[in-house]
Amino acid sequence: MSALHDEIRELMALYPEARSATLPALRLAQEKHGWLSPEALREAAEGLGETPAYCMSVASFYDMFHLEPVGRHLVEVCTNVSCALVGAQQVLEAFERELEVRAGETTEDGEVTLRTVECLGGCGWATIVALDHRYRTHVQANDVGAIVEELRADG
Amino acid sequence: MAEPRLVVLQGADERDLTKLSEYRAIGGYDALAKARALAPQAVIDELLASNLRGRGGAFFATGRKWSFIPKPDQNPNPHYLVVNADESEPGSFKDNEILSRVPHRFIEGCLITAHAVESKHVFVYIRGEYLGPFEAVRDALEEIRDDERLLGGVTIVVHRGAGAYICGEETALLESLEGKRGQPRSKPPFPAISGLYASPTVVNNVETLATVPPIVAMGGAAYAKLGVENSTGTRVVSLSGNLVRGGNYEVAHGITLRELIYDLGGGIAEGRELKAVIPGGSSTVILTAEEIDVPYDYDALAEVGTAMGSAGVIAIDDRCCMVQLGIRVSEFYEHESCGKCTPCREGTRWMTAILRKLEAGEASDSELDLLLDVCDRINGKCLCPLGETAAMAVASYVLKFRDEFLAHLDGGCPFGSQSPLDGVVAPVNQHTHSPVAEVPA
Ligand SMILES: Cc1cc2nc3c(=O)[nH]c(=O)nc-3n(C[C@H](O)[C@H](O)[C@H](O)COP(=O)(O)O)c2cc1C
Ligand code: SF4
Ligand code: FES
């Protein structure tokens, strides 16, 4: 049995009903495979004792699960109201220029996926950009070049 | 009158309260010992005396909510405490700061609450995006892991969500915690009777729980002296938008919106004029710049037709186009609708579509009426409040800024690219994993 299988079993033991481990199990499978590929879903399902279809139906409800491949790095720009009021769209456009992709796309080399997201819960420190899930606060368009360089340097 | 960091965030500016030793040094976990020396009902009575009302948005009296939980001899199923740390309301970021800076006060609140409702099982449902706050709570729990005196046989499991605003609605949260799609349940039964795994369950917000230890420490009656009648105590208010100093500010209820914006927030950035204020997160009815002398408390805000919601105050300056604001807000709810009820699922798409036509200068008089009509057809016809708060919020932009909407009828947007919301790409407009159907033409 795979390490993922064992980890999912451990998660299931935390809950009175094992199905509660579905979200954490999907998260682990996604971390291992990079996205929820059919194989990742099969593995998660096997660990949980659910069907892959069940896992797919749950995963498709949540924004953080990727049902298609994404880049090794994820750049998420909040464009909800508070961020937009102080220039989130300009930040997004700077990323689009710098990475040569549109929002929702992945760079040709498969390194970086850029997307917009709804409010990240950091509105007073806008614009919020999540880089591989770490928040950057007060991001402005002219910070974007350095941020992308940092991501690329990270290999 | 506004003394920051009064209760919930007290001490956090002076010390690193993420550390157990520092929290102990200011009397941390003493309230837990005090509460455990009392019978559960006596703790509930203290909360009733404080008149603390839930900080998640609905403002329901916390002591009353706890008293709805059946006693163990009335219902032998395990009792659960579920923490709502899903904070996703646009404009709100207070729980983020509370979890990150005073995780032990929050955990102490969970343990006191577990004692009051006779529960041994706490689940903290935290939004998946909150990696920093998750780590703060995880590390704080790690510090007390072997301290049975503190834990008292209670297990606390931190459960991470995966990106869905609707999971902040308490029954959707329970579905999600049970490993399902996060779609609201119909009520009744309420969670107190049939919640997690169909067992008695208290669902409380992070800030509500972090307020519990100070209440137990100072006594409910003393807490009730802070703030104003009906809105006792303090509130961590999130300030954002076009302000000089955005951030979280803990204030006693009753401070005016004007004081929040100008005294604490430093006024409008770049010397601009205030145009409008969203007072309690994007789900609340907007106020014009003329309406901001209203005290920030439940009753006063209700009197002017709006709500404190999740205490996210968004200040909007004079460059912003209200139609564009409507589009962006409507797109958010369109994206986050769980799809269960037709009026919400379809209505939010229609709202966006009509607003887009208006913005492009292609709408007629009757379509402005149609927009209000669509809002009206969502209102009161949905399972949970998501749909109707979306409709009420957007309708309020039309009602309060009608001239601006009318100005769009001939020739399109008078603000154009002057407005910071011009052309903003919302998630609903980009290629995502779940295909978005064509918006009605
Ligand atoms: C669409 C929607 C989203 C909500 N989001 C949150 C949230 O993110 N956090 C929260 O505490 N309450 C949220 N609520 C309110 C909860 O349903 C519930 O009232 C609250 O968690 C109860 O805790 P309290 O009594 O301590 O406030 C939301 C409600 C709705 C209808
Ligand atoms: S109102 Fe909207 S979010 Fe709420 S249950 Fe209905 S469809 Fe889902
Ligand atoms: S609006 Fe961007 S973090 Fe809330």
Q: Which domain holds residue B87?
A: 20-225
Closest chain A residue by Cα to residue B132: A134
Query: In the predicted model, is pLDDT for residue B3 greater than 60?
Result: no
Chain B residues closer than 8 Å to A16 by CB: 78, 121, 197
> CA B173 → CA B102, B155, B183, B241, B276, distances in Å?
24, 19, 8, 28, 32
Whether B133 shows a pLDDT value over 80: the answer reads: yes
Mean pLDDT by 10 residues, chain A (155 residues): 92 98 98 96 98 98 96 97 98 98 95 97 98 97 97 84
pLDDT tens digit sequence for B360-409: 999 999 999 999 999 999 999 999 999 999 999 999 999 999 999 999 99
Q: Which pLDDT belongs to residue B433?
A: 46
In a domain, B10, yes or no: no
CA distance B307 to B298: 7
Residue B405 CA to residue B408 CA, distance in Å, equals 5
Question: Tokens at residue B92, please?
Answer: 């709100």
Cα of B276 vs centre of ligand 1, distance in Å, is: 25
Would you call A118 and B90 a contact, using CB atoms and an 8 Å cutoff?
A: yes
Task: State the burial class of residue B271 (Cβ atoms within 10 Å of its Cβ: 0-12, 13-18, 19+).
Answer: exposed
Distance A102 CA to ligand 2 centre (A): 31
Residue A127 lies in a domain: yes
Look at ligand 2, atom 4, and give the residue with the nearest C-alpha. Answer: B384
pLDDT for the residue B436: 38
Taking the C-alpha atoms of residue A128 and residue A141, their distance in angstroms, rounded to an integer, is 12
* Cα pseudo-dihedral B111, B112, B117, B121, rounded to 10: 0
Among B98, B95, B70, B75, which residue's Cα sits nearest to residue B85?
B95
B residues 132-151 near A, CB within 8 Å? 132
**Smallest CA separation from ligand 1 atom 10, residue:** B56
Average pLDDT over residues B423-431: 91
- Mean pLDDT value across residues B437-441: 41
Q: Which chain B residue's Cα is nearest to A25? A: B179
Q: What's the confidence (pLDDT) of residue B72?
A: 86
How many domains does the structure of chain B reveal?
A: 3
Chain B residues with CB under 8 Å of A24 CB are 159-160
CATH number of the structural domain spanning residue A140: 3.40.30.10
Beta strands in B118-199 (DSSP E): 121-126, 155-160
Decide which of B165, B194, B225 is a domain's last residue.
B225
Within a 10 A sphere around the Cβ of B90, how many other Cβ atoms?
30
pLDDT computed for residue B410 by the predictor: 84
pLDDT at B2 over 50: no
pLDDT at site B431:
64
Of residues B162, B314, B325, nearest to A23 (C-beta): B162
In this predicted structure, the answer to whether residue B51 has a pLDDT above a threshold of 90 is yes
DSSP E strands: which ranges in chain A? 73-78, 112-117, 129-131, 134-136
| Domain enclosing residue A120, as ranges | 73-153
Q: Are residues B240 and B263 in the same domain?
A: yes
Out of B52, B92, B106, B169, mutate this one to test ligand 1's pocket (max ligand atoms within 8 Å of CB): namely: B169
Same domain assignment for residues A95 and A122: yes
Q: How far apart are CA B241 and CA B245, in angstroms?
A: 9
At B8, is the secondary structure helix, strand, or coil? Answer: coil
Q: Does A52 share its domain with A82? A: no
DSSP classification of residue A18? G
Q: Is B6 a domain residue?
A: no
Ligand 3 atom closest to Cα of residue B93: 4
pLDDT at B13: 94
Claim to verify: residue B313 and residue B363 sit in the same structural domain: no
Residues B71 and B220 in one domain: yes
Alpha-carbon gap: B123 to the closest alpha carbon of chain A (Å): 9
Q: Which of A16, A22, A82 sits opposite B241 (nearest CB)?
A: A82
Q: Residue B420 and residue A86: Cβ atoms within 8 Å?
A: yes
Q: How confident is the model at residue B435 (pLDDT cuts 50, 70, 90)?
A: very low
Of A62, A68, A125, the CB nearest to B163: A62
Instruction: Kindly report the CATH number assigned to the domain that includes residue A32.
Output: 1.10.10.1590
Interface subset of B 30-49, CB within 8 angstroms of A: none
Query: How much is the pLDDT for B438?
Result: 41
Give the minimum alpha-carbon distance from A111 to chain B in angstroms, rounded to a whole number. 18
Same domain, B184 and B333: no
Q: Give yes or no for residue B156 having a pLDDT over 80.
A: yes
Q: Which of B225, B248, B273 is the last residue of a domain?
A: B225
Contact B421 A21 (CB under 8 A): no
Considering only CB atoms, which chain B residues are within 8 Å of A92?
Answer: 425
Q: Is the beta carbon of A92 within 6 A of some atom in ligand 3?
A: no
CB contact under 8 A, B162 and A67: no
**Is the same domain home to B392 and B429?**
yes
Residue A136, min C-alpha distance to chain B (Å): 11
- Name the residue facing A88 among B182, B317, B424 (closest C-beta): B424
Mean pLDDT, to the nearest integer, of B310-335? 98
> Which of A30, A59, A88 is the C-terminal boundary of a domain?
A59
Between chain A and chain B, the number of residue pairs with CB atoms below 8 A apart is: 189
The verdict on residue A25 lying in a domain is yes
Subunit contact B425:A79, Cβ cutoff 8 A = yes
Question: What average pLDDT does the segment B252-280 reach?
Answer: 98
pLDDT band at B127; cut points 50, 70, 90: very high
User: ipTM of this model?
Assistant: 0.98
The answer to whether the Cβ–Cβ distance between A82 and B90 falls below 8 Å is yes
Burial class of residue B244 (count of CB atoms within 10 Å of its CB; 0-12, 13-18, 19+): middle
User: Residue B136: which CATH number?
Assistant: 3.40.50.11540
Mean pLDDT of B57-76: 95
